[in-house]
Amino acid sequence: MIEVAVNGYGTIGKRVADAVCKQPDMRVAGVAKTRPNFEASAAVKKGFDLYAAIEERKHRFEEAGIEIAGEVTELVEKSDVVVDACPSGVGADNVSMYRRYDTPALLQGGEDAEAVDASFNARANFEAVAGADIVRVVSCNTTGLSRLIAPLREAYGVRKVRVTLVRRGGDPAQSNRGPINDILPNPVSLPSHHGPDVNTIFPDLSIDTLGLKVPATLMHMHSVNVTLGSQPNAEAVRELLEAERRTFVIPEWLGLEGAGAITELAQDAGRPRGDIWENCIWGESLSMVGPDLYLFQAIHQESDVVPENVDAIRAVLETTSRERSVERTNAAMGLDEPLTPTRM
Ligand code: NAD
């Protein structure tokens, strides 16, 4: 069994911990929290051993009546791998601790690529992180783009990618985020950081990205144009993307008009927390104009990186192949169970 520590038990950390629990070859060694709050309470209820991330604040857990198993350094030392899901920047600060205890660690997309030995996406570069010490599971947007670009490159070649990312202002629980009633070019100057981030996965890819922020919390939306190396018809591209394991090509008959309806679909399908682990690509939007492919896809920012973290654990520890890992992760999480009764 791979013993997995989760340091930073928030939006991403709690989802990764749940996904790890479901894997036949992994268990959660413990989770580290900075303070007792509703998420600490949920961790205890799930039976996870709780470790204090900040020694001086240990007493706060005791005062709240929450039992602590130890300090984060003890958790790091006894684990085979750490998933660090701390807020952006904190993960990089933690790297020296992981190196000190010689425990490989997975950081998240909010960290700079320079803070890590390699960046990871299961579909695109699983093998590239074998044996690495500090790896970054790329952001939700970069994960969504990498899953799309990898099969297109393999099937047709890609000459140029252009993406406009309409980004949610914050996650549902981030009450301090905005905009509240505005539409922001963000960043206002080109390129947005997303293109260079995709280049950490595909270094030779020509990609331009623009970003906006809107007052929404549900998902990100990508307006994508890919100039392909050949000219397949739209139906062939659709079949290619339907055959992928972490893309969901939305059938027209579902009548999913936006992110809100996708979220409802996931909740109706019984997905935990209404999570949508796949890229959601509108089938009707898939169009070819000469060598140019156009499409819209929605990305659930809180959950698409979760199966990627699970695969990254096996990739770093070199316990199995990409195909086997993805198959195992999907089966254990229920990602292979279609969101709809039939895939059309
Ligand atoms: P979050 O704020 O929801 O969770 C972070 C957790 O870490 C919180 O519980 C916080 O209390 C805890 N924490 C803070 N300092 C800590 C420390 N020193 N030690 C241990 N725990 C500490 O953040 P999140 O949304 O889960 O983001 C985590 C990482 O994942 C970031 O790099 C982020 O960019 C990335 N990410 C976030 C999303 C998203 O949409 N939420 C998507 C993909 C990637």
Residue 339 has pLDDT above 90, yes or no: no
88 CB less than 6 Å from ligand 1? yes
Nearest CA to ligand 1 atom 20: 8
Q: Which atom of ligand 1 has the smallest separation from the CA of 301?
A: 40
Amino acid letter at 294?
Answer: Y
Ligand 1 mutation target, pool 12, 98, 108, most atoms within 8 A of CB: 12
309 CB less than 6 Å from ligand 1? no
107 CB less than 6 Å from ligand 1? no
Amino acid letter at 272?
Answer: P
Kindly list the domain boundaries of the chain, sorted by start residue: 2-138+305-333, 141-299
**Model pLDDT, residue 338:** 79
CATH number of 141-299: 3.30.360.10
CA 50 – CA 162 distance, rounded (Å): 44
301 CB less than 6 Å from ligand 1? yes
How far is ligand 1, taken at its centre, from the CA of residue 8, in Å? 6
pLDDT in tens, 188-244: 999 999 999 999 999 999 999 999 999 999 999 999 999 999 999 999 999 999 999
Q: CA-based angle 209:215:7, to the nearest 5?
A: 75
Q: Let me know if domain 2-138+305-333 sits in CATH 3.30.70.120.
A: no
Residue 151 has pLDDT above 60, yes or no: yes
CA 123 – CA 148 distance, rounded (Å): 9
**Model pLDDT, residue 341:** 63
Q: Which residues contact 93 (CB under 8 A, 6 or more apart)?
A: none
Active site residues: 140
How far is ligand 1, taken at its centre, from the CA of residue 90, in Å? 9
Across the chain, mean pLDDT equals: 96
pLDDT in tens, 11-27: 999 999 999 999 999 99
85 CB less than 6 Å from ligand 1? yes
What is the distance in angstroms between the CA of the first residue and the CA of the last residue of the chain? 38
SS3 165: strand
Ligand 1 mutation target, pool 86, 107, 111, most atoms within 8 A of CB: 86
**Model pLDDT, residue 185:** 97
- 118 neighbors 132 (Cβ within 8 angstroms): yes
Residue 342 has pLDDT above 70, yes or no: no
**Model pLDDT, residue 344:** 44
**Model pLDDT, residue 107:** 98
How far is ligand 1, taken at its centre, from the CA of residue 80, in Å? 21
pLDDT in tens, 276-305: 999 999 999 999 999 999 999 999 999 999
Q: Categorise residue 337: left if φ over 0, alpha if ψ from -120 to 50, beta otherwise.
A: beta
How far is ligand 1, taken at its centre, from the CA of residue 40, in Å? 14
90 CB less than 6 Å from ligand 1? yes
| Positive or negative: CA dihedral 333, 336, 341, 344 | positive
- 123 neighbors 202 (Cβ within 8 angstroms): no
Residues 105-110: what's their mean pLDDT? Answer: 98
How far is ligand 1, taken at its centre, from the CA of residue 291, in Å? 40
SS3 166: strand
Range 48-52 contact pairs with CB under 8 angstroms and sequence separation of 24 or more: 48/17, 49/75, 51/75
Q: Determine what percent of the chain is predicted with pLDDT higher than 70.
A: 99
Residue 170 has pLDDT above 50, yes or no: yes
Residue 343 — very low, low, confident or very high, per pLDDT cuts 50/70/90? very low
Residues 46-67: what's their mean pLDDT? Answer: 94
CA 211 – CA 339 distance, rounded (Å): 29
89 CB less than 6 Å from ligand 1? no
Residues 34-57: what's their mean pLDDT? Answer: 95
**Model pLDDT, residue 337:** 86
305 CB less than 6 Å from ligand 1? yes
Nearest CA to ligand 1 atom 34: 110
Residue 142 has pLDDT above 90, yes or no: yes
